[in-house]
């Protein structure tokens, strides 16, 4: 099996113009590789860079103005098209927000930022949210706004992407050169979860245990899972084998996703569950296909993590 720590981690940095993407890139690289300044869109081309962090190779792409569309009559600019291509190649995507803008706005994320966050998840990539420019909210006069940002961003991320709990949020001030360790810690943790592989034996022991913790209202109507296995990682993808032509309900699928998240510490990454039918054996004893059953717990947000560095 491939040692994931030896495989270069592909990290993309995305966000609206002038939120501090290039400053963050320079902080991660620990050198002034990219020109920075107050002008929006100063970085016009995607920048490919490589660095080492704790023995791991990281390929880092600053995706210029990914969220700034070009003239609708002329079509998207080359930098935007290239940035979308880079996003699809990324393992983990860092979505950068501006703390000062969050503090002044009614919502933490603009429509464009919500779109990119959802697209990252739909494409099966890991997502880390970076709230930059926290230095602008320092001081007693801004203490209320500072606290508002700390609380509001994780809550809104959970609201706009309810299917995933525990998306990490890191609060930094890249212009001060601080935050590198906090950002990279969350990026690497997200990447390792994204690469997670669980054995079939372990998953089926887990399945018996997790279903025994609940009592379904109607045991006869609940779909029986004969066995459960992981078919791929990056992101973790599972298959539930069910009897005959029965299908897992959306509620049961959400229950399994939530339980995988909690029991295997998989918060913050997409989890995919597919199902396949196993033909019923003629005259077979179908009563042994299920060990137990349980009532689905409500799929509530949990483990919303934030890091302040």
Question: How many Å apart are CA 34 and CA 162, to the nearest integer?
Answer: 35
| 84: confidence class by pLDDT, cuts 50, 70, 90 | low
Question: How many Å apart are CA 146 and CA 140, to the nearest integer?
Answer: 9
In the prediction, which pLDDT does 256 show? Answer: 93
Tens of pLDDT along 116-155?
899 899 889 999 999 999 999 988 889 999 999 999 999 9
In the prediction, which pLDDT does 295 show? Answer: 36
Q: To 5 degrees, how large is the angle CA 235–CA 214–CA 297? A: 60
Global pTM reads 0.81
Give the CATH superfamily of 200-289.
K homology (KH) domain (3.30.300.20)
For the segment 66-90, the average pLDDT, to the nearest whole number, is 56
Of 227, 205, 233, nearest to 276 by C-alpha is 227
| 288: confidence class by pLDDT, cuts 50, 70, 90 | very low
Tens of pLDDT along 15-25?
888 898 888 98
Of 212, 198, 195, 201, nearest to 270 by C-alpha is 195
Contact, 97 vs 113, CB < 8 A? yes
Contact, 231 vs 241, CB < 8 A? no
Written as six digits, the tokens of 145 are 């706004």
In the prediction, which pLDDT does 212 show? Answer: 82
Question: What is the overall mean pLDDT for the chain?
Answer: 80
Written as six digits, the tokens of 167 are 């998306």
* Bridge partners of residue 10, in order along the sequence: 59
> What is the residue extent of each domain of the chain?
4-195, 200-289
Identify the helix (H) or strand (E) that includes residue 99.
Answer: helix 99-104
CATH class of this structure's domain 4-195: alpha beta
Max mean pLDDT among 72-86, 265-279, 290-304 falls in 265-279
What are the distances in angstroms from CA 253 to CA 164, 185, 199? 13, 30, 20
| 251: confidence class by pLDDT, cuts 50, 70, 90 | confident
């Amino acid at each position: 099996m491939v040692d994931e720590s030896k495989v270069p981690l592909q990290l993309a940095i995305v966000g609206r113009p002038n939120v501090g993407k290039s400053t963050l890139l320079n902080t991660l690289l620990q050198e002034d590789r990219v020109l920075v300044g107050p002008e929006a869109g100063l970085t016009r081309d995607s920048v490919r860079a490589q660095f080492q962090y704790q023995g791991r190779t990281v390929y880092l792409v600053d995706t210029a103005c990914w969220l700034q569309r070009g003239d609708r009559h002329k079509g998207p600019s080359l930098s935007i098209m290239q940035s979308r291509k880079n996003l699809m190649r990324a393992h983990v995507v860092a979505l950068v927000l501006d703390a000062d803008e969050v503090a002044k706005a009614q919502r933490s994320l603009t429509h464009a930022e919500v779109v990119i966050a959802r697209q990252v998840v739909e494409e099966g990539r890991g997502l880390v949210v970076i709230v930059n420019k926290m230095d602008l909210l320092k001081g007693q006069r801004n203490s209320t706004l500072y606290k508002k940002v700390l609380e509001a961003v994780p809550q809104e991320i959970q609201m706009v992407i309810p299917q995933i709990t525990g998306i990490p949020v890191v609060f930094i001030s890249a212009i001060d050169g601080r935050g590198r360790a906090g950002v990279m810690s969350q990026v690497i943790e997200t990447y390792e979860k994204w690469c997670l592989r669980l054995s079939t034996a372990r998953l089926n022991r887990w399945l018996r245990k997790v279903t025994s913790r609940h009592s379904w209202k109607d045991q006869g109507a609940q779909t029986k899972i004969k066995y459960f296995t992981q078919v791929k990682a990056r992101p973790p993808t599972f298959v539930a084998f069910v009897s005959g032509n029965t299908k897992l309900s959306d509620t049961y699928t959400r229950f399994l996703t939530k339980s995988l998240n909690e029991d295997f510490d998989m918060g913050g990454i997409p989890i995919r569950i597919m199902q396949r039918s196993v033909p019923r054996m003629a005259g077979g004893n179908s009563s042994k296909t299920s060990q137990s059953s349980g009532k689905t717990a409500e799929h509530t947000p949990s483990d919303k993590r934030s890091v302040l560095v």
